[in-house]
């Protein structure tokens, strides 16, 4: 079944030589929270096999057979991936630098914005066809997945989720300064959500991911 998912996406991945250009939403005047103060306020949805944090960096070991997915193409619902989150209201920018020892099919690590089990987005690096891809899933009861070549084969990637009005934009960067838009989509406005980092290992035995430079800017 997972093999079908990979086949289903292969053509769209091969057709995309890279990201389309994009920029961050219009200027946000932030109240900013950096890594240390954020981590103190964050809690797990589906705690991983192990995790530890020091010097502003989180090391997470995902459990096997974990994922976030709803219905589309396969008909099943999986909601047991790992999500380290805190609540946020209104418009915001959340970002983190993400890397992992991606090895098994669909090993993934990145960011998540979540209203509930039926309404969420995730973005980050995901491993399939023997290489890393930049992956984004928007879910409004049914999951909608897009993927393209990752920005690097081995380097950590900065991911950013920008919520503005009735949308979320996902962006990625190699240096944390120059961001490229990966995808933008509808997200329910005017409601408090959870935002944070996520990882999962749908097919493999679990893998190690690292997260640092967490930052939340509230409008």
The percent of residues in the chain predicted with pLDDT above 70, rounded, is 84
User: Residue 16 pLDDT > 70, yes or no?
Assistant: no
199 pairs with which residues across the strands?
82, 109
Q: Are 202 and 66 in contact (CB under 8 A)?
A: yes
The pair of structure tokens assigned to 74 is: 């396969």
* Averaged pLDDT score across all residues of the chain: 88
Which domain covers residue 71, as residue numbers? Answer: 2-218
Domain holding 23: CATH number?
2.60.120.200
Kindly indicate the confidence band of residue 35, based on its pLDDT and cuts at 50, 70 and 90.
low
The percent of residues in the chain predicted with pLDDT above 90, rounded, is 79
DSSP secondary structure code for residue 64 in this structure: B
The 10s digit of each residue's pLDDT in 155-166 is 999 999 999 999
What would the mean pLDDT of 28-53 be, rounded to a whole number?
81
The 10s digit of each residue's pLDDT in 119-132 is 999 999 999 999 99
What would the mean pLDDT of 33-48 be, rounded to a whole number?
87
User: Residue 13 pLDDT > 90, yes or no?
Assistant: no
The pair of structure tokens assigned to 94 is: 């959340």
Split into its structural domains, the chain has a count of 1
User: Residue 179 pLDDT > 70, yes or no?
Assistant: yes
Query: How high is the pLDDT of residue 31?
Result: 64
Task: Report how far residue 15's alpha carbon sits from residue 9's, in angstroms, rounded to the nearest whole number.
Answer: 10
Query: How high is the pLDDT of residue 127?
Result: 98
Closest residue by Cα to residue 96 from 56, 66, 51, 131: 56
The pair of structure tokens assigned to 204 is: 């493999």
């Amino acid at each position: 079944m997972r093999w079908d998912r990979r086949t289903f996406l292969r053509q769209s991945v091969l057709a995309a030589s890279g990201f389309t250009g994009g920029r961050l939403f219009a200027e946000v005047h932030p109240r900013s929270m950096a890594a240390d103060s954020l981590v103190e306020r964050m809690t797990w949805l589906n705690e991983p096999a192990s995790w530890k944090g020091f010097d502003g960096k989180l090391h997470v070991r995902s459990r096997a057979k974990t994922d976030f997915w709803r219905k589309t193409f396969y008909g099943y619902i999986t909601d047991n991936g790992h999500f380290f989150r805190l609540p946020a209201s209104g418009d915001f920018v959340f970002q983190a630098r993400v890397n992992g020892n991606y090895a098994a099919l669909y090993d993934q690590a990145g960011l998540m914005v979540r209203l509930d089990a039926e309404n969420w987005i995730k973005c980050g690096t995901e491993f399939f066809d023997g290489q890393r891809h930049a992956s984004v899933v928007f879910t409004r009861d049914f999951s909608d997945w897009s993927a393209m070549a990752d920005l690097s084969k081995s380097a950590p990637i900065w991911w950013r989720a920008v919520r503005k009005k009735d949308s979320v934009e996902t962006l990625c960067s190699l240096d944390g300064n120059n961001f490229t838009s990966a995808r933008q989509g509808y997200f329910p406005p005017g409601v408090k959500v959870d935002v944070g980092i996520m990882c999962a290992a749908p097919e493999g035995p679990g893998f190690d991911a690292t997260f640092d430079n967490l930052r939340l800017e509230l409008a």
